[in-house]
C-alpha cells in the first residue's frame, strides 16, 4: 500500500509541476496585450490591450494557484495527512481531460481503500 501512496504522491508532484509550467504560457496574453497597446494611438486598441493583459494575469494566477494546490496534495499524501483535501483536489483534477482525469480516478481508487484509510488514521509516516 505504501508503494501506491508513494506513486500517487509523485504523480501529484509531476502533474502540479507541469500545471505551474503551463501557467507561464498564459503570460503570452500579457505580452500580446502590451503589443496591441503600443502599436497604435487608437483608444480602442488601448482598451483591447488592457483586456488582454488583465485576462492573461487572471488566468496565470488561477492556473498557478491550481498547480500549487496539486503540489500541496502530493505533499499531503506523502505525509499521510489531509486525506479529504487530497480527495477534493483529485475530484477537481477530473475536470482536466485526459491526464487530470486519470490522476483523479487513481487518487479516488487509492485514497478510498480501507487499508489506506487505516494508515491515515494511524498517522504512520512512510519508512
Instruction: Give me the residue spans of the domains in the chain.
Output: 2-122
- Going from the first residue of the chain to its last (127 residues), give the mean pLDDT of each consecutive group of 10, the final group possibly shorter: 88 96 89 83 84 91 96 94 94 94 95 89 59
pLDDT for the residue 76:
95
pLDDT in tens, 23-35: 999 888 888 888 8
pLDDT for the residue 47:
87
Largest CA distance in the chain: 66
**Can you give the pTM of this predicted structure?**
0.84
Locus of grid cell 487505516: 118
pLDDT for the residue 122:
78
pLDDT for the residue 23:
93
Provide the b/e sequence for 49-67 (b: ≥16 CB within 10 Å).
Answer: beebbeebeebbeebbebb
Grid cell locating 96:
482536466
Please give the backbone phi and psi of residue 97, each rounded to the nearest 5 degrees, phi first.
Answer: -95, 135
Amino acid at each position: 500500500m505504501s508503494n501506491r501512496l508513494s506513486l500517487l504522491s509523485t504523480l501529484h508532484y509531476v502533474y502540479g509541476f507541469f500545471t505551474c509550467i503551463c501557467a507561464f504560457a498564459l503570460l503570452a496574453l500579457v505580452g500580446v496585450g502590451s503589443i496591441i497597446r503600443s502599436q497604435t494611438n487608437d483608444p480602442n486598441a488601448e482598451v483591447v490591450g488592457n483586456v488582454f493583459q488583465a485576462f492573461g494575469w487572471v488566468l496565470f494566477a488561477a492556473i498557478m494557484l491550481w498547480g500549487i494546490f496539486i503540489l500541496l496534495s502530493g505533499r499531503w499524501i506523502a505525509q499521510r495527512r489531509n486525506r479529504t483535501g487530497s480527495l477534493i483536489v483529485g475530484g477537481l483534477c477530473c475536470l482536466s481531460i485526459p491526464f487530470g482525469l486519470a490522476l483523479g480516478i487513481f487518487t479516488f481508487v487509492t485514497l478510498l481503500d480501507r487499508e489506506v484509510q487505516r494508515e491515515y488514521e494511524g498517522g504512520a509516516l512512510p519508512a
